[in-house]
Amino acid sequence: MVSYSFERVKRGLRKFGVLRPLNRHEYRTVWNSVSADLREAMVSVQGSSDENQFAVSAKATVETLKECVGIYPTDTVLEIGAGVGRVGDLLAPLCKEWIATDVSDHMLAHLSRRLAKQQNIRTVLTNGFDLSQIESGSVDLVYCTVVFMHLDEWERFNYVREGLRVLKPGGRMLVDNFSLLTDAGWDFFVKNMESYPPAKRPPNISKSSTPQELFLYFEKAGFRHIAQRTGAVLVTTFGTKPR
């Protein structure tokens, strides 16, 4: 998990002429401020700009997707908060179409350049709150990885609800967050508490979920066959849209 220092966000904001402190829900301004160039964007996504490290972690994410919800050559797949295409780089060749959505136009510009060789990619700039540009019932698989920690709970739930809307009947959705109930997740929670006095917390500071929170979102949104997997840090939740 990446730590987003208050100073780094502030430096980025100054570059864009934003001088006031930002709120958490100003997702586009916050994320554009930490992704001016590709190197900085990669550091913001996973703490390193090393392409090999990206490939290793992307492989692990794709394995999780395969094991939990499957990936098929006929699938239209949509990622919420796709960043610079860490996962899409490996996933796009495995499906029919990969739709990269993100609130940050900087991230999507880096993604388009990084993945220029892939022919089946579409990028969609979203408003940070919903998937309104995506047609209902048009997608086979929606996933969102390493993003929920940066969102308010309402946006987390709304993305699960929007996931259900854009999925075809029988379509699958998967999300993750770091779990407060794991040892590493608890340590990260305490580290953030001790690292930042309240007024110095970066707007995109990582906040945990519990498995119960994510399960409830899926249940209330109307998913079926909801299941969860907890790793050393992350809790992953997935389910199916009723036919």
Ligand X SMILES: C[S@@+](CC[C@H](N)C(=O)[O-])C[C@H]1O[C@@H](n2cnc3c(N)ncnc32)[C@H](O)[C@@H]1O
- Interface with ligand X by CB under 6 A: which residues? 27, 31, 45, 80-83, 86-87, 102-104, 107, 126, 128, 145-147, 150-151, 155
The pair of structure tokens assigned to 190 is: 């305490």
Question: Closest distance between ligand X and the C-beta of residue 81, in Å?
Answer: 3
At 29 the three-state DSSP class reads helix
DSSP-assigned beta bridge partners for residue 122: 99
Query: What is the number of the residue whose Cβ is closest to ligand X?
Result: 83
User: What is the spatial distance between Cα 185 and Cα 196, in angstroms, rounded to a whole number?
Assistant: 17
Question: Closest distance between ligand X and the C-beta of residue 39, in Å?
Answer: 15
| CB closer to ligand X, 102 vs 213 | 102
Q: How many CB atoms lie within 10 A of CB 168?
A: 16
The pair of structure tokens assigned to 134 is: 């995506």
| CB closer to ligand X, 83 vs 202 | 83
User: What is the spatial distance between Cα 154 and Cα 89, in angstroms, rounded to a whole number?
Assistant: 29
Q: What is the DSSP letter of 74?
A: T
| CB closer to ligand X, 90 vs 167 | 90
Instruction: Compute φ and ψ for 186, nearest 5 degrees.
Output: -65, -45
| CB closer to ligand X, 84 vs 167 | 84
User: What is the spatial distance between Cα 154 and Cα 151, in angstroms, rounded to a whole number?
Assistant: 8
Question: Closest distance between ligand X and the C-beta of residue 34, in Å?
Answer: 8
Question: Closest distance between ligand X and the C-beta of residue 102, in Å?
Answer: 5
Question: Closest distance between ligand X and the C-beta of residue 204, in Å?
Answer: 7
| CB closer to ligand X, 87 vs 141 | 87
